[in-house]
Structure 1
Amino acid sequence: MISEPELDGEWAAGRPPTAAEEPVPPREGVRGPRRGWLWALGGALLASAVWAGVLVAQDRFAAAPRLSYRHIEDLCEGRNLAALAKTEVKPGHGLPAHGEHPALDWSYCAYQSDYTEKEAVYYQVQVLAELHKKTDPGAEFGAGPVAGWGLFAGDGGPAEQVSALPGRAEFRAAAGGGWHRLQVVDGGAVFTLHVQWFGPAAGSDPDPDAIRAAMIEDMRDLMTSLRT
């Protein structure tokens, strides 16, 4: 009788396993490398987030200019420009304006002299205080044209450095007469005092030395009153 070795188990050691008998690799062999990859990815993301936070903090502190002055809403209140009031300018009642922004706070006051038919010249005075909180205004100070708020416009002569004030101060006069402007930058603060006149004598400067000296004195008082 012909024997059946497959029934006796003689072929079991040499025959290939069937599909049902295929060995299953241990699950740890798959999860181990994946777990390490996830840890590496998490570490990289954490490092990137920390580095981004460092850069943001560095940029915030590096870009923020020094501010030694406070912001007020009414720049006219309590400021009658006493020095200019002793000259022919004689500023009248002031009209205030102000604004607040994460990058810039500003306050403004416009003074007008009383106008009558007998007056030969009509004066207007403007004061502007700016507090730059994000970028340093010193890099652009004095680089642009003579222009700005309201009557801050026209051709100006060369800038004259003024050493009697804190920070960096420049005085300009209109090339053909008609206005004076004094501007100061101290850290992130910029102050502008502008005097303009109209009338029959608008083409000439009425006692320019007295007006210039009064503007410097009033600017010093303004900066002192706002200093923190």
Structure 2
Amino acid sequence: MIGEPEIDGDWHTASGPEGTAEGAAEALPGAPGPGRVRRGRPPWLWALGGVLAASAVWAGTLAVQDRVPDVPRLGYRHSPDLCKEFELKTVAQTAGRGFEGGRSGEGVHLAQDWAYCTISTPYQDGTMMYGAELLVELHKKGDPAPDFATGPGTAPENRLDLDERQEVQGLGDRAVLDRQYAHDGTRLMVLDGGAVFTLTMQWFQVREAAAVDGNIPPATIDENAMHAAMIEDMRALMAKLKR
């Protein structure tokens, strides 16, 4: 039979008249000639070919991965009007002052989306005035973790005392509170995947009338309570922007 030698790896042909097995073999392109023996490829060659093919595919995959930067996890949405999302309820209760107004800005780019909001308490002579700045950065390509919270910012008067830095537990992947930042202020930064949230609070007392009659004593605040309020309002904002 013709099929049996093919399975066994041997294909023998014998001389014979045209139309026999010999004639059929000669009619096939590349078929062995009369009296020649065709043997199948050893099984280990097939296995070796499969290994080489798999290795080539794996090498190509690694080469593609080397060209594509790490894409960070993004579990938050971009807000073009961050002041509509930003509520300082706990901070307002702690300060005893309400916030009003606000100014928003935003940008959308291939590598990063960002939005900011600045808000403050209304001016009132002899009271403590509060200002807040919020920045939300969504990194869509590069990982922000290596450079997280490494600098004081762009304003030249800002200062950063790492000895005063506190790690905040249970907020994002990592969160830090810089107590001595800018002029009488505190900065809270949160890293969660590819998102970076920065809340900066500053406060100062308006003392124009005090300079005239001296009847207005210096105002004081509970900084620990204010820091705890910042953390709670940040937690609420992150929950609101969660996808």
Q: What TM-score do the two structures reach when normalised by structure 2? A: 0.63
Q: Is the 8 A contact 1:84 1:91 kept in 2?
A: no
Q: 1: CA distance between counterparts of 2:220 and 2:134?
A: 20
Distance (Å, rounded) in 1 between the aligned partners of 2:80 and 2:109? 13
Bigger shift: 173-182 or 157-166?
A: 173-182
1:163 aligns with 2:195: no
Match of 1:185 among 185, 188, 191: 191
User: Equivalents in 2 of 1:94, 1:76: separation in Å?
Assistant: 6
Which residue in 2 is equivalent to 1:206?
Answer: 221
State how 1:59-138 maps to structure 2 within 5 Å.
59-60=67-68, 62-88=69-95, 90-119=98-127, 121-138=128-145
| SS in structure 2 of the partner of residue 164 of structure 1 | coil
Deviations 1:158-197 (A, max 9, x none): 3211013121000111179700111001111000111011
Per-residue Cα deviation, 1:132-156 (whole angstroms, up to 9, x for no partner): 1111000111222x224x6992233
CA distance in 2, matches of 1:175, 1:95: 22
In structure 2, the CA distance between the partners of 1:72 and 1:138, relative to structure 1 (3 Å rule), is same
Indicate the RMSD between aligned Cα atoms, in angstroms: 3.0
Q: Rg larger in 1 or in 2?
A: 1
Aligned partner of 2:159: which letter?
G
Q: Name the SS for the 2:237 alignment partner.
A: helix
The CA distance in 2 between the partners of 1:129 and 1:227, in whole Å, is 12
Contact persistence 1:162–1:170 (CA under 8 A): yes
- The unaligned stretches of length 5 or more in structure 1 are 1-50
Distance 1:53 1:123, change over 3 A: same
Q: Which moved more, 1:75-84 or 1:189-198?
A: 75-84
Assess if the C-alpha contact under 8 Å between 2:115 and 2:135 holds in 1: yes
Question: What is the TM-score when the length of structure 1 is the normalising length?
Answer: 0.67
Query: Residue 126 of structure 1 aligns to which amino acid in structure 2?
Result: E
**Number of equivalenced pairs:** 175
- Relative distance call for 1:211 and 1:197 in structure 2 (3 A) is same
User: Quick check: 1:178–1:205 contact (8 Å CA) kept in 2?
Assistant: no
CA contact (8 A) 1:152 1:194 kept: no
Which secondary structure does the structure 1 equivalent of 2:234 belong to? helix
**175 and 98 in structure 1: CA distance in 2 versus 1, 3 angstrom threshold:** closer
Distance 1:78 1:147, change over 3 A: closer
